[in-house]
Amino acid sequence: MKLRTVITVLPIAAFVAGCASMQGPAATSNAAAKTQTCHPINEQEIAALFDRWNASLHTGDPHKVVANYAEHSILLPTVSNKPRVTAEEKEDYFHHFLENQPSGQIDFRWTQIGCNSVVDAGLYTFTFAKTGAQVHARYTYTYSWDGREWLITSHHSSAMPEKMPEKK
């Protein structure tokens, strides 16, 4: 009789232990992953995100540029050694950057699309209308869908280490 009791109790104990292991953060994240809806995006829409950011530069208003960034985001700019994580820090950077009337142009783009996230990386050139100067740089933007719009979560830009040939 003892052997029959053990055989009956073991499967029940294993079932209960399995259910208990599905509690807590792992069960919650599994459930969230199953119910998360991925917002679709394509290459043209990714290009339009840069165009939106570039158009905000043309306004000359740092506040409008910073509106492209998520609240929790980082800017690692080309012409400043200071990481910018708050809206105020980003506005301060763009206040100075916009003085020379910059306009960006993508020279090479590589993208990766995830569920509600996008990486847009490559090379761009900035032309400054006020001075006529050009800066060739590398860039990486990461975007996240916030339920309403795509916003920049990280933006890294760095000047090219080698001089680029002149465009013809």
Q: Are 95 and 62 in contact (CB under 8 A)?
A: yes
Task: Show Cβ contacts of residue 20 under 8 Å, excluding neighbours closer than 6 positions.
Answer: none
Q: Tokens standing for 130?
A: 């006020």
CATH ID of 43-159, from 3.20.20.480, 3.10.450.50, 3.40.718.10, 2.30.30.360: 3.10.450.50
Residues of the chain with CATH 3.10.450.50: 43-159
CA distances from 105 to 50, 81, 119, 123, 126 (A): 9, 23, 17, 9, 6
pLDDT of residue 163: 73
Q: Give the closest residue to 139 by CA, choosing from 55, 88, 75.
A: 75
pLDDT of residue 119: 98
**pLDDT, tens only, 95-131:** 999 999 999 999 999 999 999 999 999 999 999 999 9
B/e letters for 85-107, b = 16+ CB within 10 Å, e = fewer, are eeeebbbbbbeebbeeebebeee
**Selected residue with higher pLDDT from 63 and 4:** 63
State phi, psi for 140 to the nearest 5 degrees.
Answer: -145, 125
Q: What is the mean pLDDT of residues 65-87?
A: 96
Mapped onto helix, strand or coil, the DSSP state of residue 126 is strand
How many Cα atoms sit within 13 Å of 106 on the Cβ side? 19
Q: Is the pLDDT of residue 12 over 70?
A: no
pLDDT of residue 166: 63
